[in-house]
């Protein structure tokens, strides 16, 4: 058998930007935005002008790209855009292969794949895509990869839940351990974590979108997210994992602020969000991939507390957790929201003996109220549904009542622990209670931090109140999570977290 070109890009994971543009002008424009990318994949099947494409044009693309260029011409039978016959397709790819391409992607099931591999002048990626989860013929495809021995194998299924990625990640591990360069992961929102996890286990490539909104396949991270937020270029062998579960989490600030501190501390850790609304599936993936621990956000805060094997005092009291650390036989649940609220308020005034109204009886309201009681405050939980306020008050050893209490009573501090005022929701323009009930002497903290200045805070400022943005609490709960997850107790990550979060929120 002829010796085939080896995958030439070494053992580190390379970031390959997939470009699916309608013409070569648009492709060249994208070349200006590839900083941080190692390679680019041009999807020839996305071109409107494919039939006019000459070898000169292909060579011109290769010569003008700032990074090596690979070519893919995905047929319709693999959910691509090329509807011509297979002979034509092979001819196009043979032209592309001699144009200076860094690689050519050929489908594992193409009848001519073995011949193409034998004759190719450049590295060949042998790929297979399933538009279903947990494909029954995965092991046959792995065997075929073994027979063809391409420069790189790419096996991709479509996840419905996070744990659907596990068979693909295991197949990737098996191939890589056998010396076969590979990248095996899942597409789709629920597969997003697997793209990062595959990179963490040494896959040859991670495919990225040129920018958010320019995804060529469902669930692709953008180049900027991989480079700036996950700092993938600094990942090394044996990167330890921790992350975030919740639904939805696509707009969470946590990956950016955690990874910024991880980089500042020089730790070999990656903080990875696991998307999806199925808690069992998210936990299965995290446990199987040996995560150290997780941040936990809505809607899993109560359920995760119930499932924990051990709990801190606040979780035991209020039944809501926002952090878990895995142990051999389960996980410990912590709640850092309570201390974060107390600490954020303490930047403005002592909470001991202060008369405080917590508006909202959900997980955050209960955690905040309980921690404030423990810190010596006199707390009343007020809520739209009075029965919920009463139940929460009983758990937190404080009083509870309806929202109207804010009108008739004076409080030193008022805390909003409802989602009212949150950007991009139907409640974005609203306040959780009429601001005219504020006398102007209160300190007002809004747990909502998107936008930074909520309608409640804006009106509280107009009435002369001292205000505290939800960001002050957010970075404090994240800093406390960081210390638990990283076992890095002496670090003070607040200013790094604040800088990154402010930068992201001010841009919104
Ligand atoms: P949750 O469990 O869903 O609780 C929601 C609470 O808000 C309930 O008491 C609910 O009242 C009340 N509520 C919902 N919609 C309302 C409306 N239209 N008018 C009046 N009250 C309403 O949520 P959570 O986990 O406690 O979180 C609450 C908020 O705090 C969220 O916006 C979350 O993002 C934010 N948070 C911020 C931080 C931070 O660090 N800054 C930390 C944790 C949470 P009913 O009982 O009547 O349904």
Instruction: For the chain, 508 residues long, give each residue's pLDDT as a single digit of tens.
Output: 455 678 888 778 899 999 999 999 999 999 999 999 999 999 999 999 898 889 999 999 999 999 999 999 999 999 999 999 999 999 999 999 999 999 999 999 999 999 999 999 899 999 999 999 999 999 999 999 999 999 999 999 999 999 999 999 999 999 999 999 999 999 999 999 999 999 988 999 999 999 999 999 999 999 999 999 998 888 877 789 999 999 999 889 999 999 999 999 989 899 999 999 999 999 999 999 999 999 999 999 999 999 999 999 999 999 999 999 999 999 999 999 999 999 999 999 999 999 999 999 999 999 999 999 999 999 999 999 999 999 999 999 999 999 999 999 999 999 999 999 999 999 999 999 999 999 999 999 999 999 999 999 999 999 999 999 999 999 999 999 999 999 887 888 999 999 999 999 987 7
Alpha helix ranges (H) inside 223-267: 223-224, 254-265
| Measured distance CA(243)–CA(317) in Å, rounded | 25
Q: How far is the CA of 493 from the centre of ligand 1 (A)?
A: 26
Q: Is 68 in the pocket of ligand 1 (CB under 6 A)?
A: no
CB-neighbour burial class of residue 211 (10 A; exposed 0-12, middle 13-18, buried 19+): middle
301 among known catalytic residues: yes
In the chain, how many H helices and how many E strands? Answer: 19, 21
State the pLDDT at residue 237. 74
Residues 6+ apart with CB under 8 A from 356: 372, 377, 378, 379, 380, 411, 412, 413, 414, 415
Tell me which of 417, 424, 431 to substitute to probe ligand 1's pocket, judged by most ligand atoms within 8 Å of the beta carbon: 417
Residue 130, C-beta contacts closer than 8 angstroms, at least 6 positions apart: 156, 157, 158
pLDDT value of position 2: 56
71 forms bridges with which residues in the sheet? Answer: 42, 104
In what helix (H) or strand (E) does residue 114 lie, and over which residues does it extend? helix 113-119
Residues 153 and 126: their CA atoms lie apart, in Å, by 5
Q: Give the distance (Å) from ligand 1 centre to CA of residue 4.
A: 59
3-state secondary structure of 475: helix
Given the residues 2, 301, 355, 390, select the one marked as catalytic: 301
337 in ligand 1 pocket by Cβ < 6 Å?
A: yes
Ligand 1 binding pocket includes 123 (Cβ within 6 Å): no
Indicate if ligand 1 lies below 6 Å from the C-beta of 298. yes
Q: Which helix (H) or strand (E) holds 16?
A: strand 14-19
| Binding site membership of 473 for ligand 1 (Cβ less than 6 Å) | yes
pLDDT at 67: 97
Q: How far is residue 227's CA from residue 420's CA, in Å, rounded to a whole number?
A: 34
Q: C-alpha angle with apex 148: 142 to 152, nearest 5 degrees?
A: 75
Nearest CA among 346, 339, 394 for reference residue 367: 339
What is the structure's pLDDT at 3? 59
| Residue showing tokens 């993936």 | 285
Angstrom distance (rounded) from CA 255 to CA 485: 13
446 C-alpha vs ligand 1 centroid, how far in Å? 11
CA of 257 to the centre of ligand 1 (A): 23
The CA distance from 425 to 334, in Å, is 29
Q: How far is the CA of 426 from the centre of ligand 1 (A)?
A: 14
Bridge partner residues of 271 (DSSP): 242
Predicted pLDDT of residue 309 = 97
**According to the model, what pLDDT value does residue 236 have?**
77
Distance, in Å, from the CA atom of 370 to the CA atom of 489, rounded to the nearest integer, reads 24
């Amino acid at each position: 058998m002829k010796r085939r070109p080896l995958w030439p890009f070494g053992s580190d994971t390379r970031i390959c930007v997939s470009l699916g543009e309608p013409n070569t002008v648009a492709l060249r424009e994208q070349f200006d935005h590839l900083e941080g990318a190692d390679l680019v994949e041009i999807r020839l099947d996305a071109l409107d002008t494919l039939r006019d494409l000459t070898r000169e044009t292909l060579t011109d693309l290769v010569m003008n790209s700032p990074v090596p260029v690979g070519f893919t011409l995905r047929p319709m039978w693999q959910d691509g855009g090329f509807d011509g016959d297979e002979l034509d397709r092979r001819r196009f790819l043979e032209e592309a292969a001699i144009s200076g391409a860094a690689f050519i992607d050929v489908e594992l099931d193409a009848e001519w794949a073995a011949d193409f591999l034998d004759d190719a002048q450049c590295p060949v990626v042998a790929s297979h895509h399933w538009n279903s989860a947990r494909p029954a013929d995965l092991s046959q495809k792995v065997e075929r990869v073994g027979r063809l021995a391409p420069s790189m194998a790419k096996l991709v299924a479509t996840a419905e839940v996070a744990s659907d990625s596990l068979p693909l990640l295991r197949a990737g591990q098996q191939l890589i351990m056998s010396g076969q360069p590979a990248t095996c992961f899942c597409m789709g929102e629920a597969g997003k974590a697997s793209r990062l996890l595959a990179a963490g286990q040494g896959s040859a490539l991670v495919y990225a979108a040129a920018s958010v909104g320019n995804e060529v396949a469902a669930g692709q991270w953008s180049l900027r997210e991989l480079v700036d937020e996950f700092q993938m270029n600094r990942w090394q062998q044996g990167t330890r994992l921790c992350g975030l579960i919740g639904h939805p989490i696509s707009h969470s600030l946590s990956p950016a602020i955690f990874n910024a501190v991880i980089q500042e501390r020089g730790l070999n850790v990656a903080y990875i969000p696991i998307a999806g609304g199925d808690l069992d599936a998210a936990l299965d993936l995290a446990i199987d991939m040996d995560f150290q621990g997780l941040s936990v956000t809505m809607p899993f805060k109560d359920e995760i507390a119930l499932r924990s094997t051990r709990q801190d005092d606040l979780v035991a009291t209020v039944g809501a957790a926002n952090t878990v650390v895995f142990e051999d036989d389960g996980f410990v649940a912590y709640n850092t929201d309570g201390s974060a609220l107390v600490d954020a308020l303490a930047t403005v005034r002592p909470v001991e003996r202060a008369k405080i109204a917590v508006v909202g009886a959900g997980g955050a309201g209960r955690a905040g109220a309980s921690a404030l009681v423990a810190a010596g405050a006199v707390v009343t939980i007020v809520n739209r549904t009075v029965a919920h306020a009463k139940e929460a008050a009983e758990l937190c050893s404080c009083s509870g009542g309806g929202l109207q209490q804010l009108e008739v009573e004076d409080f030193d501090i008022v805390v909003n622990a409802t989602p009212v005022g949150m950007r991009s929701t139907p409640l974005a323009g609203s306040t959780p209670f009429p601001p005219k009930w504020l006398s102007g002497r209160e300190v007002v903290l809004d747990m909502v931090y998107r936008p930074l200045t909520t309608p409640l805070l804006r009106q509280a400022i107009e009435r002369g109140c001292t205000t505290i943005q939800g960001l002050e609490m957010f970075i404090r709960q994240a800093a406390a999570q960081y210390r638990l997850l990283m076992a890095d107790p002496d670090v003070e990550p607040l200013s790094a977290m604040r800088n990154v979060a402010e930068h992201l929120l001010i841009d919104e």
